[in-house]
Amino acid sequence: MRERERVFVKVSVSEALHHSVMAPAGLLPFLHHIRTLSSASVKHSSQILHRTSAELHHGPVYVLFHRRNVSTEETLSHRVSHLTVRERTVLELLYDGLVSGQRSSLAESITLVETQHPRKKELAQVLLQRVLAYRQERERIAGGKPVAFRVGLSGPPGAGKSSFIEVLGKMLTGKGHKVSVLAVDPSSCTTGGSLMGDKTRMTELSRDMNAFIRPSPSSGTLGGVTRTTNEAIVLCEGAGYDIVLVETVGVGQSEFAVADMVDLFVLLIPPAGGDELQGIKRGIIERADLVVVTKSDGDLVVPARRIQAEYTSALKLLRKKSKTWTPKVVRVSAQTGQGVPELWGIMLQYRDVMLYSGELQTRRREQQKVWLWSLIQENALRHFQEHPEVQAALPELERRVAQGDVSPGLAADLLLRAFRTTQ
Ligand SMILES: Nc1nc2c(ncn2[C@@H]2O[C@H](COP(=O)(O)OP(=O)(O)OP(=O)(O)O)[C@@H](O)[C@H]2O)c(=O)[nH]1
């Protein structure tokens, strides 16, 4: 019965196209019929016999599909109880090493969350869950205060990000902080090359025992890198890093992704006008809690002051992002170190104001939801694109949409129905 329904739906997608071209009115009864079929397919309550499209081509193999409530605890304990002895030992070692602050364990744990391997992905989630619980306990002991201050730093290539992070990072480790630097570089995902430069960056900071620097993964999508960066933040915090700096270059949506994972978002601008600044999107200026004009030294002091004044007036015209904080524009020089201690003072002032008002906690809660939804979006789209029925119908539909004889709305509707009916 279900097989017949499936085949019918398959045939009917092309039928519907025919109808849509010949007689748009003929489409409504067809869509109604598909709707009836799809609702019939979800009527089976506890267990339904589900046949995938691949099986239609590979003989009658039936898969028992359990529909049941999803319990987080159940899922987690199921995951843990299904670990082999070896896997448990590896995770135990990683966890112990991580929470005792070993950099090698932190590096290995981040590699684990970056993996594409399905089994290792599961192990990474088990590890993360434990680290999350550990972090939560530490926050509880600290009276609800976050264990780390997360700062995002963005700016166009050559803005002076790495030079600035090196100076700021050294200053902070000198004050007894543990600093981690994570990079999000979408260009390295798509081209394998890096906009942030393949040169060795932050050489001094990378030798500092209280600093941990992790370059951007060189494969995956921006969505994937966003997920692993969010997870890497959790791991860094578990490893005792109380300041987490997330650096990104202003390309694509990476800045927005980073703005959605940090407490304080800083935009770095070089003291150059014209074309170099055109790459800075207006939307990202609105997201900035602080604007830092870099390289404010020597001959560049005058243009740096001018840029500072321009951004100060521009920010006044923008919608306020926070109820309690007014974005500021400051000038620094990584070369002379001027302005860096003052800037850190402003960053701390920001953190205290936001913590005291409760806005920082609210922002973090919202960010968790944004993160959840970006994961859902990425996975749902992948499932959709990889679905056999969708893959079968897509080329023809795309072609006809491009030709203009099927509307994109109708094509999307048909593809979604083919996807849903065969879930
Ligand atoms: N005068 C001056 N030059 C600086 C300063 N900071 C960085 N620079 C120079 O600006 C150039 C770019 O600096 P980086 O720190 O590599 O800039 P970045 O934004 O990290 O650049 P990417 O690695 O390409 O993303 C280098 O030639 C630095 O020497 C500064 O404070 N003053």
Write the pLDDT tens digit of every residue in 330-371: 999 999 999 999 999 999 999 999 999 999 999 999 998 888
pTM: 0.76
Burial-class residue 136 by CB neighbours within 10 Å (0-12, 13-18, 19+).
exposed
| Three-state SS at 404 | coil
C-alpha 304 to ligand 1 mean position (Å): 14
User: Residue of the nearest CA to atom 4 in ligand 1?
Assistant: 295
Residue 136 lies in domain: 71-145
Closest ligand 1 atom to 166 CA: 15
Give residue 31's pLDDT.
35
Per-residue pLDDT tens over the stretch 24-75: 333 333 333 333 333 333 333 333 333 333 333 333 333 333 444 555 555 5
C-alpha 206 to ligand 1 mean position (Å): 17
pLDDT beyond 50 at 21: no
Tell me if 160 CB under 6 Å of ligand 1.
yes
Distance set, CA 76 to CA 5, 123, 127, 376 (Å): 36, 11, 11, 19
Distance set, CA 366 to CA 34, 106, 129, 363, 370 (Å): 38, 26, 19, 5, 6
Same domain (yes/no): 325, 349: yes
Burial code of 333-346, b = ≥16 C-beta within 10 A, e = fewer? bbeeeebbeebbeb
C-alpha 106 to ligand 1 mean position (Å): 28
Same domain (yes/no): 90, 205: no
Same domain (yes/no): 216, 82: no
Give residue 202's pLDDT.
84
Same domain (yes/no): 205, 350: yes
Same domain (yes/no): 133, 166: no
Same domain (yes/no): 26, 156: no
CATH (domain of 126): 1.20.5.170
pLDDT beyond 60 at 225: yes
C-alpha 368 to ligand 1 mean position (Å): 33
In a domain, 379, yes or no: no
In a domain, 76, yes or no: yes
CATH (domain of 230): 3.40.50.300
Task: Identify which of 154, 162, 163 to mutate to test ligand 1's pocket (most ligand atoms within 8 A of the CB).
Answer: 163
DSSP string, 243-287: EEEEEEES-TTHHHHHHTT-SEEEEEE-S--THHHHTS-HHHHHH
Same domain (yes/no): 141, 152: no
**CB hemisphere CA count around 198 (13 angstroms):** 7
What mean pLDDT do residues 200-216 have? 86
Tell me if 168 CB under 6 Å of ligand 1.
no
Same domain (yes/no): 119, 163: no
In a domain, 381, yes or no: no
Same domain (yes/no): 242, 319: yes
The pLDDT mean for the chain works out to: 78
Among the ranges given (8-17, 51-60, 287-296, 393-402), the one the predictor scored with the smallest mean pLDDT: 51-60
Distance set, CA 75 to CA 35, 78, 124, 169, 391 (Å): 33, 5, 14, 40, 31
Tell me if 196 CB under 6 Å of ligand 1.
yes
Give residue 27's pLDDT.
38
Tell me if 337 CB under 6 Å of ligand 1.
no
Band the pLDDT of 119: cuts 50, 70, 90: confident
CB within 8 A of 243, min separation 6: which ones? 148, 149, 151, 172, 177, 178, 179, 180
C-alpha 144 to ligand 1 mean position (Å): 38
Count structural domains, the chain: 3
In a domain, 387, yes or no: no
Tell me if 161 CB under 6 Å of ligand 1.
yes
